[in-house]
Structure 1
Amino acid sequence: MKQKTLIDQIGTTHTFETSPSRIISLVPSQTELLYDLGLEDKIIGITKFCVHPYHFKSTKKSVGGTKKVHFEKIRLLQPDIIICNKEENTLEMVEQLRKICPVWVTNIATIEDNFQMITDFGQLFNCRTESQKWNDKLAFALTDFKNYIQDKEIKKVAYFIWKKPFMVAGSDNFINELLKLNHFENIYQNKGRYPEIELKKMRLEGDPDLVFLSSEPYPFAEEDAFEIGRHTHHAKTVFVDGEMFSWYGSRLLKAFDYFKKMHEKL
């Protein structure tokens, strides 16, 4: 390939003489996407949270978590690109990693950003056909889902992600984008990205119809559902699959089916 200049989603310009062939991915959903784009053989390092595809646990080298990595382990793997995400990984970490090799940073707050990331990976890793196929599949599924959801009534929702302190999904993030797509009005969308909240104020701040307890990053239990639910007037408390609401990339295809099943149950 001839020299290629590309700009990542935080505006950093990268120039590559050849297409990167030793990839470390520090974002679970992006590891899954890279695999789905046919790049398994090029992936040399992942995080301990990269659980899809399952066999990567035994075939790929773990270099730490998403917020804390072993820089020396990464250096010894001799990557020629590291894939990060603005929200998942810290700026400080990205700056350290740049001393090892180029760091491509994604920034996904909308479905449009997701399409852009897949297009970028197609150019970056010379798999344009695969990336186009994935974008076509996702575009088709998105249109289908919008048709499905158009007549559903809008319900008020609070989407919990953490306990001690209680934290919820606010605005300007992918979770909120998918809530809106599902005709859910997030009662905390004017409180910042991931606000800490007080349960006793929940009725005043919007009194949701639905309380969603995400399976990740915090594993909520039945007693949490009871504790949170009693601070609303009438909300139905639902345990939801966090991967379906917060993972971008190819996971979105499975998410549309998941959302349909969820609406049937609600």
Structure 2
Amino acid sequence: MSGVRRVVSLVPSLTEAVAVSAPGLLVGVTDWCTHPGDLGDAVRVGGTKNPDVRRITELRPDLVIANEEENRAPDLEALRAAGVEVLVTEVRDLPQALRELDRVLVGALGLTRPGWLADAERAWAGAGPVGVRAASAFVPIWRRPWMVLGRDTFAGDLLARLGVRNVYAGHAERYPRVPVEELAAAGCDLVVLPDEPYRFTREDGPEAFPDLPAALLSGRHLTWYGPSLAEAPRVLAEGLSAAR
């Protein structure tokens, strides 16, 4: 073990990864950290985009773990200015996610490599396209305004490994705003609707695209990089297969 004994996590995925691998290390987590269900005495320190910097420093963490996309640079700089060590991850695809998990858990925290990480590697090594041919899709992550997955995203990489081609993967932006009329006319085989960050449901989302099958997927399994990765290929494949 390293000298790190007090960790604040500003990323739900990493909160779950640390909590499952080393219960007791976490002293602070965000309001959006929901897994695992029992986070012990960890203090809620605000949202991923608006953490309470003062509260975090009062917790005297040995390390704050963050992500370049989920957290804001000014907050992380404020923590560093207060003398707090901050580790910032970058996750754009599955291989990078696995490397970053190793960097956090083994490199920074000094843990023995957890078994679930090897399980995740095996699960994805055995994953393949769902169905007999590749499906083209767009993937809304918000509405009012409609926003979709664009280029260079972790979720897009997972879907590609399951045979779903994101038609906006070549867009200049990572999360472009696209008018609903353009989405409906994109000529896709299906629309993929995760339940986070926007909570799409059977009643909220598919009605905007009545001519397309809709696959409602678990956002945690599509966008989180942690223990959920081990079961994600199965869960996502089931959701894609159930598209209607």
Q: State if a TM-score over 0.5 links the two structures.
A: yes
CA contact (8 A) 1:19 1:124 kept: no
Deviations, residues 20-63 of structure 1 (Å, cap 9, x unaligned): 111000000110011122x221110000100001122x631000
Residue number in structure 2 paired with 1:8 = none
Task: Please list every run of at least 4 consecutive aligned residues from structure 1 whose deviation after the TM superposition is greater than 6 angstroms.
Answer: none
CA contact (8 A) 1:162 1:168 kept: yes
Deviations, residues 62-113 of structure 1 (Å, cap 9, x unaligned): 0000000111111111111000001100111111111231100010111111
CA contact (8 A) 1:22 1:44 kept: yes
Residue number in structure 2 paired with 1:25 = 9
* 2:101 pairs with one of 99, 118, 128: 118
Q: Distance in 2 between matches of 1:248 and 1:32?
A: 9
Residue number in structure 1 paired with 2:232 = 255
Whether 1:246 and 2:227 are equivalent positions in the alignment is no
Q: Give percent identity, aligned residues only.
A: 28
What is the DSSP-based 3-state SS (H/G/I as helix, E as strand, rest coil) of the residue aligned with 1:248? Answer: coil
* 1:202 pairs with one of 169, 179, 183: 183
Residue number in structure 1 paired with 2:209 = 229
Q: 1:150 to 1:243 in 2, by over 3 A?
A: closer
Deviations, residues 181-239 of structure 1 (Å, cap 9, x unaligned): 111111111222000001112255x321111222111123414321x204xxx411232
Asked which structure has the greater CA Rg, the reply is 1
Q: Distance in 1 between matches of 2:34 and 2:54?
A: 23
Q: Distance in 2 between matches of 1:259 and 1:220?
A: 15
Whether 1:144 and 2:121 are equivalent positions in the alignment is no
Residue number in structure 1 paired with 2:69 = 87
CA contact (8 A) 2:162 2:237 kept: no
Residue number in structure 1 paired with 2:112 = 128
Q: Distance in 1 between matches of 2:164 and 2:175?
A: 17
Q: Distance in 2 between matches of 1:248 and 1:136?
A: 13
CA contact (8 A) 1:157 1:212 kept: yes
Deviations, residues 168-192 of structure 1 (Å, cap 9, x unaligned): 1111110111111111111111222
Q: Distance in 2 between matches of 1:241 and 1:255?
A: 9
Q: Distance in 2 between matches of 1:150 and 1:211?
A: 15
What is the correspondence of 1:72-83 to structure 2 with a 5 Å cutoff? 72-83=54-65
Q: Distance in 1 between matches of 2:165 and 2:96?
A: 21
Task: Tell me the amino acid that sits aligned with residue 136 of structure 2.
Answer: K
Task: Tell me the amino acid that sits aligned with residue 199 of structure 1.
Answer: V
CA contact (8 A) 1:30 1:248 kept: yes
Deviations, residues 115-146 of structure 1 (Å, cap 9, x unaligned): 2112212121111342xx33321221112213
Task: Tell me the amino acid that sits aligned with residue 202 of structure 1.
Answer: L
Q: TM-score, normalised by structure 1?
A: 0.84
> Paired residues, what number?
239
CA contact (8 A) 1:119 1:128 kept: no
Q: Distance in 2 between matches of 1:252 and 1:55?
A: 19
CA contact (8 A) 1:152 1:183 kept: no
Question: Unaligned stretches of 5+ in structure 2?
Answer: none
Q: TM-score, normalised by structure 2?
A: 0.91
Residue number in structure 1 paired with 2:33 = 50
Q: Distance in 2 between matches of 1:144 and 1:106?
A: 26
CA contact (8 A) 1:87 1:107 kept: yes
